[in-house]
Amino acid sequence: MSVQVVSAAATAKVPEVELKDLSPSEAEPQLGRSTSAVSAMAPPAGGGDPEAPAPAAERPPAPGPGSGPAAALSPAAGKVPQASAMKRSDPHHQHQRHRDGGEALVSPDGTVTEAPRTVKKQIQFADQKQEFNKRPTKIGRRSLSRSISQSSTDSYSSAASYTDSSDDETSPRDKQQKNSKGSSDFCVKNIKQAEFGRREIEIAEQEMPALMALRKRAQGEKPLAGAKIVGCTHITAQTAVLMETLGALGAQCRWAACNIYSTLNEVAAALAESGFPVFAWKGESEDDFWWCIDRCVNVEGWQPNMILDDGGDLTHWIYKKYPNMFKKIKGIVEESVTGVHRLYQLSKAGKLCVPAMNVNDSVTKQKFDNLYCCRESILDGLKRTTDMMFGGKQVVVCGYGEVGKGCCAALKAMGSIVYVTEIDPICALQACMDGFRLVKLNEVIRQVDIVITCTGNKNVVTREHLDRMKNSCIVCNMGHSNTEIDVASLRTPELTWERVRSQVDHVIWPDGKRIVLLAEGRLLNLSCSTVPTFVLSITATTQALALIELYNAPEGRYKQDVYLLPKKMDEYVASLHLPTFDAHLTELTDEQAKYLGLNKNGPFKPNYYRY
Ligand code: NAD
């Protein structure tokens, strides 16, 4: 099959944001003067040891006495410092580097369309003057949807669906559906799938112990009473557990999907059945995507006062369409690299008009998403797509950061012979000390059976490398973008592409050599397997705590800036997950705490500590 490149799509842009009269309080926050609402959710705390004498820059603000609706949830009020404002230089430049490569999308007829060459993983903003009633035809919607690259995939929530979107071709927007209570304030694929979705949610609950614990602690207490949360995330069973937890804590929620493909229809149906206004289905068109977001926000008699976003699309929609809403919004919680980057841009430009929490960079999220999640899901992704046996196979892993370490550990445990490439001598030395051969890619490219990229960089595997690979070599990527492997260079007339399975392409050279390309170079685990629920539990708990904190923070504590969750909150998220393992933490004695200069109840490490 030869492929034909038709056109380059327009460059996706983050829209310019114009903000007028939006500044809420001008008051400077009194850091540490009053209690964090989240602090009240903390586990029982002991004596009143002094705060750790860390350097001023690292020392969290001193906690105050408990207050606010969350305070009564635990006797531990007043032990968690509030989030500290982000003062670092923007760490997301690193992630931006790989956003400027192209992406090719193959339609069923073999036509290749070049996707936008910047910010590929975000959906472009639809024309702001777009009228949602003027909708494309069914066919138009489908083709639109094919032309959008995977959106907001930089948050590593499970995007795999275990049911397909059914044979029903009718757009959910054209259906009249009601749940069993007679409400039609939702738009999902098929409300009749609710029972199946409920079972999925119940399964997820078993692996999300911290959220379930928060629900229990909140019995009788409603730290989110009065909160009106508008959310835009992957709609999966794990998100459903989060939403229902927020509901149990007193919040009203309206929700849309942050990704046009990742919605689990049955889960969306279950949420709609239990009264959540959910607007999402698998396979939305771009037009549907924005329509769903708009239906969440543009409601008579209901205005959000909190935003939970994953990718920044919801936040920007409100900025563009309903900027006055920010007068009532108390804060934004953002999960993804992309969304956080946009918030920093707004903050830098002085246009961020409410406080925002950067959940993406909290220690627990980073560590668990990157290392442990990838350690678990790399084998799953490879196995599901190729059925291969790993024992004795030669594998080269490019990049020995968190993701690379996870991949290497899993493959080594399966008996693979693992080589590592690195540019950073520290990570390189770590690889050596962990027993891996550090090589240049060129040295092993002819002999390896599998090539895995985990660098967050671009063009790590070039056409030259691809030309030299042996027959049947498997090539895949675990990094953020699909430009780590130069997939675009394979779209040339002399090479033939054969789609052999979903997400598996054979690229065949004129001499008959073929390589096995997985997920067209996109994130393997996100595209071809599921992500462990327990990992998502950690992120979801962090999101819930960030919402509680921002919602309950006294006027002036947070200004219009981007904040990181305090270490104490990270520690709390971790501690809520420990009972799963029947793990028993050692407590510092008074003497030891004094000796180390720590508060007995944490935080136990300075902010600069590398775990
Ligand atoms: P990291 O920065 O810890 O590690 C990346 C490593 O790659 C670094 O050590 C860097 O020195 C090395 N590197 C850079 N360019 C290289 C090159 N040309 N050759 C060899 N090594 C090179 O980052 P991380 O946390 O390991 O994440 C890596 C990527 O994976 C990022 O894009 C991240 O967004 C993504 N990620 C994926 C998942 C997932 O589920 N698949 C989860 C988290 C993060």
pLDDT tens for 491-531 read: 999 999 999 999 999 999 999 999 999 999 999 998 898 88
Quick: pLDDT tens for 156-176: 343 444 344 455 788 999 999
Ligand 1 atom 23: the closest Cα is on which residue? 401
Determine contact, residues 38/569, Cβ cutoff 8 Å. yes
Q: Residue 499: in which H helix or E strand, if any?
A: strand 496-501
Grouping H, G, I as helix, E, B as strand and the rest as coil, residue 609 is coil
Grouping H, G, I as helix, E, B as strand and the rest as coil, residue 417 is strand
pLDDT value at position 217?
84
Backbone angles phi, psi at 402, to 5 degrees: -65, -45
Q: Residue 140: in which H helix or E strand, if any?
A: helix 138-146
pLDDT value at position 167?
57
Place of tokens 């969350």: 70
338, 366, 370: residue to mutate for ligand 1 pocket, most atoms within 8 A of CB:
370
120, 340, 361, 455: residue to mutate for ligand 1 pocket, most atoms within 8 A of CB:
455
Q: State the distance from the centre of ligand 1 to the C-alpha of 371, rounded, in angstroms.
A: 10
Q: Residue 142 burial by CB count (10 A; 0-12/13-18/19+): exposed, middle or buried?
A: middle
Identify the residues whose C-beta falls under 6 Å from ligand 1.
156, 369-370, 373-374, 398-404, 421-424, 427, 454-457, 460, 478-480, 523, 525
Q: State the distance from the centre of ligand 1 to the C-alpha of 402, rounded, in angstroms.
A: 7
Question: Which atom of ligand 1 lies nearest, measured to the CA of 374?
Answer: 40
Determine contact, residues 269/191, Cβ cutoff 8 Å. yes
How many angstroms separate the Cα of 496 from the Cα of each of 6, 104, 491, 507? Answer: 17, 15, 9, 6
Grouping H, G, I as helix, E, B as strand and the rest as coil, residue 211 is helix
pLDDT value at position 500?
97
Determine contact, residues 43/572, Cβ cutoff 8 Å. yes
pLDDT value at position 474?
98
- Rounded CA-CA distance 349/343 in Å is 10
Ligand 1 atom 9: the closest Cα is on which residue? 401
DSSP-H helix ranges across 76-121:
93-96
Residues of the chain with pLDDT under 50: 1-131, 133-134, 136-165
pLDDT value at position 364?
87
pLDDT value at position 340?
94
Supply 25's token pair.
Answer: 């309080």
Q: State the distance from the centre of ligand 1 to the C-alpha of 400, rounded, in angstroms.
A: 7
Backbone angles phi, psi at 347, to 5 degrees: -60, -45
Q: State the distance from the centre of ligand 1 to the C-alpha of 425, rounded, in angstroms.
A: 15
Amino acid (1-letter code) at residue 420: V
Place of tokens 């936008």: 116
pLDDT value at position 597?
97
- Rounded CA-CA distance 307/161 in Å is 25
- The CA dihedral of 264, 267, 268, 269, to the nearest 10 degrees, is 120
Of 259, 240, 367, which is closest to residue 313 (Cα–Cα)?
259
- Rounded CA-CA distance 236/229 in Å is 17
Grouping H, G, I as helix, E, B as strand and the rest as coil, residue 331 is strand
How many angstroms separate the Cα of 513 from the Cα of each of 463, 491, 497, 504? Answer: 14, 16, 12, 16
User: What's the whole-model pTM score?
Assistant: 0.72
Sign of CA pseudo-dihedral 30, 34, 39, 44: positive
- Rounded CA-CA distance 41/60 in Å is 18
DSSP-H helix ranges across 421-488:
425-433, 441-444, 463-468
Q: Residue 43: in which H helix or E strand, if any?
A: none
pLDDT value at position 178?
97
pLDDT value at position 295?
98
- Rounded CA-CA distance 494/219 in Å is 65
428: left (phi over 0), alpha (psi -120 to 50) or beta: alpha
pLDDT value at position 242?
98
DSSP-H helix ranges across 251-336:
265-273, 286-297, 313-321
Ligand 1 atom 4: the closest Cα is on which residue? 401
Q: State the distance from the centre of ligand 1 to the C-alpha of 457, rounded, in angstroms.
A: 7
